[in-house]
Amino acid sequence: MVTKLTQGFWATTARTILRNRILILIGITAITVFLALQWKNMRFSSSEANLLPDDHPINIEYQSFLKSFGEEGNAIVLAIQDTALFLPEQFNRWNKLSKQLGAFPEVDVVLSTDNLKELVKDNDKQEFTLEPFIKSTPKTKKEIDSLVNHLFKDLPFYDNLLYNKESGTIRTVMYLDKDIVNTSVRKDFVLKDLTSLVNSFEEETGMDVRVSGMPYIRTMNSQNIIDEIGKFILAALGVTSLIFFFFFRSFRATFISMCVVIIGVMWAFGILGLLEYEITVLTALIPPLIIVIGIPNCIFLINKYQQEVKKHGNQALSLQRVISKIGNATLMTNVTTASGFATFIITDSKLLTEFGIVASINIIGIFILSLLIIPIVYSFMSLPKTKHLKHLNKRWIDAFVSWMEKIVRERRITIYVTSLILLILSIIGIYQIDVSGSPIEDMPKKADFFKDIRFFEKEFDGIMPVEIVVDTKREKGVLKPATLRRMNDLGEVIEEIPELSKPISVVNLVKYSKQAFYNGIPKYYQLPTTQENNFIMDVARKSSENSNLLESFVDSIGQTARITTYMKDVKTDRMEEIEKRLQESIDKIFPSERYNAFITGKALLFLKGTKYLVKNLVLSLALAIGLIALFMAYLFRSFRMIIISLIPNLLPLVITAGVMGFVGVPIKPSTILVFSIAFGISVDDTIHFLAKYRQELTENKWRVKVSVYNALRETGVSMFYTSIVLFFGFSVFTISNFGGTVALGSLVSATLLFAMLANLILLPSLLLSLEKSIANKQVLKKPQIDILPKDELNNGQNIN
């Protein structure tokens, strides 16, 4: 009954489409124009992706930190490692650059040699005052050498902040206005104003300025994403159109297919704008994905049309059969692919949820476009010429199908042994996979800003901020001697960890106060003793009230302090070891009954987010497998067929995971997507093969061997065509500058290739070996939906 309703639905759909051609084209045009108007709402991500849900404890602690101290990643650093800097002309030009930067409204404050202040004791007023480091513009090399010597030897407060005395590197730190750090204003300032000033400085002085800091890194990284979208779309169009033309040898067919996927890309951008989602490193992949997934739809439909024309030459009948016969098959395969992407919606990660929503909507959208546009456009054209139908009889395709048939017929044991060996090796490889929680690992390694990241890691021990918050649970508790000593003890622990930079906190300021109290003698850069404490701290408090010295280190009521350090880009295991050591030290130094102390910051947030994401994506993949298993159960009404259908689709995923372990590709937000995407796409081939196999069984009176080989011959060509398109289509992502995107493209391509071989070789072998268990009407019942109607049984090389 359901089958008859399905057939009737598609017959009605075919008539409706062909009778309302002009109206449908007008409708598609109107929708396309409407979605194109939504492009104005598209915006590129200005903030880092938060992979944790809002109510996660780590996120709550981070938001608490932001409430007390504001955005922590608002510093852009510039540095020069060149002895030529210490010449008068160059040194003064460097100071001029600092003045120019400080003049911009986007900049809150600039800390550099130009405006450096020394803390000095005023004996008359009994307070500390801030005096300029440079009292007059230096005119000679001797004056500059004296200043630099004074900075390196007498001002330890600025060590690792403004200079590295071992290498002679001088740094300028520019703090952006915290209100614009996560907005597009930051992008405009970095790409235009900052870049222009730095370039001018380099041209005038011939020195190389290193630039880094999280706002700068994020801006340059986002710009790379923007630059790559166009590159991906053009590459995907170019590769898929070449392959399409190679298969069909028809400019007309190629042009029509390209028009379909280009409209699909326009819809993809429009839906992003309509939903007002930001374009991230993931959503930027959707337009080229639509091209790669849309082309197989065009192959199915155009190939079927050409087959029908070759068979009887009746255009109207050919177009009607294209819709009614292939429409159901392509709907089923697009639904399974969309389901693979839709499972990302349950991950509780905004980044992945948005990706899943937009991708699944657009996959269904490209199916509708191809089903409507291709038959309608062909209805206005003349019948294909004989030369356009030659590809239906390619001898090399016949040779490929014959080779597969021979392998299945004669080498079944070899197939199983090979599969078992690959499975065992893959499991071994899986145990070697690492999880990566590094926010900079996927960034383009050849980009100048990435080289600068490595420079600052070497010179100043890291660029990823790690914050430790100490809540004393009482007002003005931070400046209590006991609290300062505890913070100093934790600072010593931090300094012992080679991957962390020297900590910066109110402790540094108090030490500097004591040094100033003793007339700037460097050896007194230490915490006051019990005897010194009362007097020095009274002077420090009075001074800080007048000059807001404590503003960056302590909250407004003096209850909560921050300790800031920076972490190098290290492996996740090491990052977790550092976190564990810090947490143990915090628990020991700050008893919970008196303090509330915790670790936060972007580095920890990304690490925890990645871990959380991996767990959720495992659930997402399990859901995808479950959904598709239910779908197969609905189609074939057989538990054994579900198991048989899942084996050739799960094995490629296991092999890919094993390869990742052996070649050292870690699990991270970009690579974990591989499995759900590849599974959702590869199962399409299984559905086609099993649908044809079931038809052959009923036609050949449940003779398994005949049915398997017929199904293999009939579906082998279409599976080969579409797999080749998908393989090369996803391969375009390997031209990316982003390591994660390259890994995604190569791993999905490899997985789909493994899946094609598994579906063409392993699946038929399983069916032949288990023929007594499955080749009967009780086990393989009538399916709920006929994917391929009976009159499709003997159409030669049917692209089903």
pLDDT of 396 reads 66
Q: Smallest Cα–Cα separation from 631: which of 569, 555, 690, 678?
A: 690
Distance CA 642, CA 628 (A): 9
Distance CA 7, CA 412 (A): 37
Distance CA 340, CA 364 (A): 12
The CATH class, in words, for 2-47+220-431+607-792 is mainly alpha
Q: Which range is most confident: 263-267, 392-396, 642-646, 719-723?
A: 263-267
Distance CA 107, CA 633 (A): 61
pLDDT of 26 reads 92
Query: Is 0.85 surpassed by the pTM of this model?
Result: no
DSSP H or E stretch at residue 563: strand 560-567
pLDDT of 404 reads 80
> Of 55-59, 149-153, 189-193, 200-204, which range is least confident?
55-59
Q: Smallest Cα–Cα separation from 771: which of 696, 686, 682?
A: 696
**Domain spans in the chain, listed from the N-terminal domain onward:** 2-47+220-431+607-792
Distance CA 438, CA 568 (A): 10
DSSP codes, 95-109: HHHHHHHHTSTTEEE
Q: In this structure, what is the dihedral angle of CA atoms 323, 324, 330, 333, given to the nearest 10 degrees? A: 170
Q: What is the pLDDT of residues 256-313, one digit of tens each?
A: 888 998 999 999 999 998 988 888 777 877 888 888 788 888 887 887 787 777 777 7
> Of 11-25, 74-88, 544-558, 569-583, which range is least confident?
544-558
Ordered alpha helix ranges (H), 380-447: 395-410, 412-430
pLDDT at 86 over 60: yes
Distance CA 478, CA 480 (A): 6
CA angle at residue 492 from 487 to 498, to 5 degrees? 130
pLDDT of 796 reads 37
Q: Smallest Cα–Cα separation from 749: which of 720, 727, 771, 734?
A: 727
Task: Specify the DSSP class assigned to residue 701.
Answer: T
Q: What is the pLDDT of residues 586-627, one digit of tens each?
A: 999 999 889 999 998 877 887 787 777 777 777 777 877 787
Distance CA 98, CA 603 (A): 28
pLDDT at 504 over 80: yes
Q: What is the pLDDT of residues 558-590, one digit of tens each?
A: 888 889 888 888 877 788 888 899 999 999 999
Measured between its terminal Cα atoms, the distance across the chain in Å is 23
Q: Smallest Cα–Cα separation from 654: which of 473, 458, 428?
A: 428
